[in-house]
């Protein structure tokens, strides 16, 4: 996974330049879109992300600020001539909404949507390929809501070309050396794998939690995560409102990040009442220093 880019991290009411939830992960040449609030297609254009490279879309739940941009985006894919399959993950009912709209507008898509209904009360593997694994896990909100856990796979070591030259190693040995082998010279000496390669960077992981009233059981599901996005809809003095609306406060999210010992906590999904977000960041940082403020256009290179 190359980077995370936030396209929107407001909550239900769009204000000014704060847009409803949407973010992308760039992984190799493709983009994984997470949530798709109203206007996401415009944000993707602004970020110069080619629509055709959006390969997977993950929708957390059916509150409008997390998916009202999806019908428009899928229509635009169609109008722009997409033929590539699109993989869509989301709760029961999502395809029903889309299919009704396509039917009533007389739209027959030129591409396939391969829909995976996200369900269950445990952490569940929903996607896997040579590069990453994605698990869904249940969040605690007013309606069924899922978080997503993106885990990079371990990459093979990088072959050191100078060493290959130094020991005159023929090309056809490279594949096995990449996998972990050493190389035996004609005199019988073995050059160990570690001398011939540079280790790949450690695979990283990212978890997306929006919207969520933190429960103790969440920790187990995202244990070991490197980068955590967690909503902080409210500041600590609105804790009662957070409870009532099944959201979290700054301090609650920061405490979770601290317990999990994540590398970074990225916050977002701010209530429209907060014009200035610095106080939210400060409240988090008192508890957990490596907190970063998510905002429209924010990019985190992994």
The residues binding a second copy (CB under 8 A) are 12-15, 38-39, 41-42, 45, 62-65, 68-69, 71-72, 75-76, 79-80, 93, 96-97, 100-101, 104-106, 142-143
CB of 222 to a second copy, least distance (A): 25
CB of 72 to a second copy, least distance (A): 4
Q: Which is nearer to a second copy, 63 or 247 (CB)?
A: 63
Q: Which is nearer to a second copy, 13 or 125 (CB)?
A: 13
Measure the CA–CA gap between 31 and 129, rounded to whole angstroms.
14
List all residues 6 or more positions away from 163 whose beta carbon is below 8 Å from its beta carbon. Answer: 169, 191, 195, 196
Q: Which is nearer to a second copy, 55 or 75 (CB)?
A: 75
The answer to whether 36 and 12 have CB atoms below 8 angstroms apart is no
Measure the CA–CA gap between 132 and 298, rounded to whole angstroms.
23
CB burial string 235-270: b at 16+ within 10 A, e below: bbebbeebeebbbbbbbbbbbbbbebebebbbbbbb
CB of 74 to a second copy, least distance (A): 9
* Active-site position among 27, 65, 211, 226: 65
Q: Which is nearer to a second copy, 21 or 291 (CB)?
A: 21
Measure the CA–CA gap between 5 and 49, rounded to whole angstroms.
11
The answer to whether 251 and 287 have CB atoms below 8 angstroms apart is yes
CB of 103 to a second copy, least distance (A): 8
Q: Which tokens sit at 267? A: 């916050």
180-185-190-192 Cα dihedral, nearest 10 degrees? -40
72-74-80-81 Cα dihedral, nearest 10 degrees? -150
Per this entry, what is the length of the chain?
A: 302
Q: Which is nearer to a second copy, 73 or 293 (CB)?
A: 73
CB of 39 to a second copy, least distance (A): 5
171 labelled catalytic: no
Measure the CA–CA gap between 247 and 65, rounded to whole angstroms.
14
Cα torsion angle, 237, 146, 122, 266, sign: negative
Q: Which is nearer to a second copy, 78 or 239 (CB)?
A: 78
Measure the CA–CA gap between 52 and 86, rounded to whole angstroms.
9
CB of 13 to a second copy, least distance (A): 6
Could you give phi then psi for residue 198, rounded to 5 degrees? -105, 135
Closest of 148, 144, 288, 131 to residue 209, by C-alpha: 148
**Reduced to 3 states, what is the DSSP secondary structure of residue 206?**
strand
Q: Point out the residues that are catalytic.
A: 65
């Amino acid at each position: 996974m190359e980077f995370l880019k936030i396209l929107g991290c407001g909550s239900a009411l769009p204000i000014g330049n704060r847009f409803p939830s949407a973010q992308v992960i760039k992984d190799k040449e493709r983009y994984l879109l997470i949530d798709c609030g109203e206007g996401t297609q415009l944000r993707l254009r602004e970020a110069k992300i080619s629509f055709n490279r959006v390969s997977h879309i993950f929708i957390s739940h059916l509150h409008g600020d997390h998916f009202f941009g999806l019908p428009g985006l899928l229509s635009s894919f169609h109008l722009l001539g997409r033929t590539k399959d699109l993989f869509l993950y989301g709760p029961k009912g999502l395809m029903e909404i889309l299919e009704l709209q396509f039917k009533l507008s007389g739209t027959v898509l030129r591409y396939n949507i391969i829909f995976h209904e996200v369900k269950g009360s445990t952490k569940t593997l929903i996607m896997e390929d040579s590069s990453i694994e994605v698990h869904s896990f249940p969040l605690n909100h007013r309606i069924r809501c899922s978080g997503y856990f993106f885990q990079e796979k371990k990459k093979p070591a990088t072959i050191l070309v100078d060493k290959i030259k130094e020991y005159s190693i023929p090309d056809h040995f490279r594949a096995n050396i990449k996998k972990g082998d050493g190389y035996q010279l004609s005199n019988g000496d073995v050059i160990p794998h570690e001398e011939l390669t540079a280790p790949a960077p450690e695979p990283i992981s990212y978890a997306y939690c929006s919207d969520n009233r933190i429960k103790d059981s969440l920790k187990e599901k995202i244990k070991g995560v490197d980068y955590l996005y967690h909503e902080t809809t409210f500041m600590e003095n609105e804790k009662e409102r957070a409870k009532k609306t099944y959201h979290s406060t700054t301090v609650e999210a920061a405490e979770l990040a601290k317990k999990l010992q994540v590398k970074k906590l990225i916050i977002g999904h701010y209530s429209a009442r907060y014009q200035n977000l610095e106080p939210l960041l400060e409240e988090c940082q008192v508890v957990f220093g490596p907190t970063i403020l998510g905002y429209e256009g924010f990019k985190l290179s992994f």
